[in-house]
């Protein structure tokens, strides 16, 4: 249990003494806090906190912490999650035709840059199979038609559950997921949208950006909700373009951006630094 930390993510109505009581809970059990971030939304009178402490020397075993914390959580009607830094989340990547984000994630994993296991790659096209399997990752091809869409998604969900997948990454996956799927993986599906949302939501944002004549394009990493392209935003970045850039040039520039923004959003999720709040996120960077 050396070097393992516990991370508590919580939110509740704002109230006096929350920081004191939560840090006291840890201190009394001999825990050493290494990070504490707190945010109060004045307009909504809500309190958000992320606190990380060392398990080494802590009076409670990791399996005892939840029960010990529950009374305090109940008193303040907290929503809360407990994570441990030695757990490696199990991730599945969905992809369609555009491979750049998939490739980037596979290489990050290969370089031990990703704090997650890439357990499966799922696609409605067979194209990615060879490369994926070359890196020792399981590849599943689920061709999707208008007709079999519902059944295929059910099979995918079944597979993910059997494989104990914690997190789904849509790395330029062009199929829309149903409410049922989204509910099961609520706040655990990350999508990369190839525009600076809310600008150019929907189809073909490269073309939309070209037609509008913007001087900057962007990419957005966000959690997926039923309202397409309206999920809570985790990370965004932009890059300059000019009149010289064709739609193809915009695509080339954007692809670099998408890779980096998706990786950044994913890293923040894997480090348990994100709290979702309505259609927004608190990101304790």
For residue 12, with 0-12 CB atoms within 10 Å meaning exposed, 13-18 middle and 19 or more buried, which class applies?
Answer: middle
Identify which range of 84-92, 145-153, 171-179, 244-252 contacts a copy of itself by CB under 8 A: 244-252
Q: How many CB atoms lie within 10 A of CB 71?
A: 9
Query: What token pair was written down for 32?
Result: 């050493």
Contact between 17 and a copy of itself per CB under 8 A: yes
| Closer CB to a copy of itself, 48 or 156, in the complex | 48
| Closer CB to a copy of itself, 164 or 242, in the complex | 242
What do you get for the CA distance between the two ends of the chain, in Å?
25
Under DSSP, the state recorded for 178 is: P
Q: Using CB under 8 A, which of 55, 233, 266, 270 touches a copy of itself?
A: 233
Q: Using CB under 8 A, which of 4, 32, 83, 140 touches a copy of itself?
A: 32
152-178 burial, b for 16+ CB within 10 Å, e for fewer?
bbeebbebbeeeebbbbbbbbbebebe
| Closer CB to a copy of itself, 76 or 144, in the complex | 76
| Closer CB to a copy of itself, 1 or 20, in the complex | 20
For helices 247-270 and 205-212, what crossing angle results, to 10°? 120
Q: What number of H helices and E strands is found in the chain? A: 8, 13
Q: Report yes or no: 218 and 262 within 8 Å, Cβ to Cβ.
A: no
Contact between 159 and a copy of itself per CB under 8 A: no
140/124 Cα distance (integer angstroms): 9
Question: 99 to 118, contacts with a copy of itself by CB under 8 A?
Answer: 99-100, 103-104, 107, 110-111, 113
Q: How many CB atoms lie within 10 A of CB 140?
A: 17
Contact between 162 and a copy of itself per CB under 8 A: no
Q: Report yes or no: 45 and 18 within 8 Å, Cβ to Cβ.
A: no
Contact between 23 and a copy of itself per CB under 8 A: yes
Contact between 279 and a copy of itself per CB under 8 A: yes
Minimum distance of a copy of itself from residue 155's CB (angstroms):
29
Q: Using CB under 8 A, which of 157, 190, 193, 232 touches a copy of itself?
A: 232
| Closer CB to a copy of itself, 181 or 271, in the complex | 271
Chain residues binding a copy of itself by CB under 8 A are: 16-21, 23-24, 26-28, 30-40, 42-43, 99-100, 103-104, 107, 110-111, 113, 131, 134, 196-200, 212-216, 218, 232-238, 240, 242-244, 246, 252, 255-256, 260, 263-264, 279-283, 285
List the catalytic residues.
Answer: 229
């Amino acid at each position: 249990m050396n070097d393992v930390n516990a991370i508590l993510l919580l939110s509740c109505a704002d109230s006096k003494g929350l920081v004191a009581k939560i840090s006291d809970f840890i201190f009394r059990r001999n825990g050493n806090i290494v990070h504490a971030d707190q945010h109060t939304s004045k307009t909504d009178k809500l309190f958000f906190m992320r606190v990380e402490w060392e398990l080494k020397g802590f009076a409670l075993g990791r399996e005892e912490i939840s029960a010990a914390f529950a009374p305090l959580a109940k008193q303040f009607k907290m929503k809360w999650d407990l994570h441990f830094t030695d757990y490696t989340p199990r991730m599945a990547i969905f992809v369609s035709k555009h491979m750049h984000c998939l490739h980037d994630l596979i290489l990050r994993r290969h370089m031990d840059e990703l704090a997650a296991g890439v357990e499966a790659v799922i696609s409605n096209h067979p194209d990615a199979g060879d490369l994926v399997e070359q890196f020792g990752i399981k590849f599943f091809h689920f061709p999707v038609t208008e007709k079999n869409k519902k059944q295929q998604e059910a099979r995918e969900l079944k597979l993910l559950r059997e494989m104990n997948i914690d997190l789904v990454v849509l790395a330029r996956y062009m199929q829309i997921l149903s409410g049922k799927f989204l509910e099961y993986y609520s706040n655990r599906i990350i999508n990369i949208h190839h525009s600076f949302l809310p600008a150019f939501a929907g189809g073909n944002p490269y073309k939309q950006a070209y037609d509008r004549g913007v001087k900057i394009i962007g990419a957005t990493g966000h959690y997926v909700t039923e309202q397409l392209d309206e999920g809570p935003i985790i990370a965004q970045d932009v890059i300059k373009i000019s009149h010289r850039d064709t739609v193809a040039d915009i695509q080339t520039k954007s692809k670099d951006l998408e890779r980096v923004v998706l990786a950044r959003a994913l890293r923040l999720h894997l480090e348990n630094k994100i709290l979702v709040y309505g259609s927004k996120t608190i990101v304790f960077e």
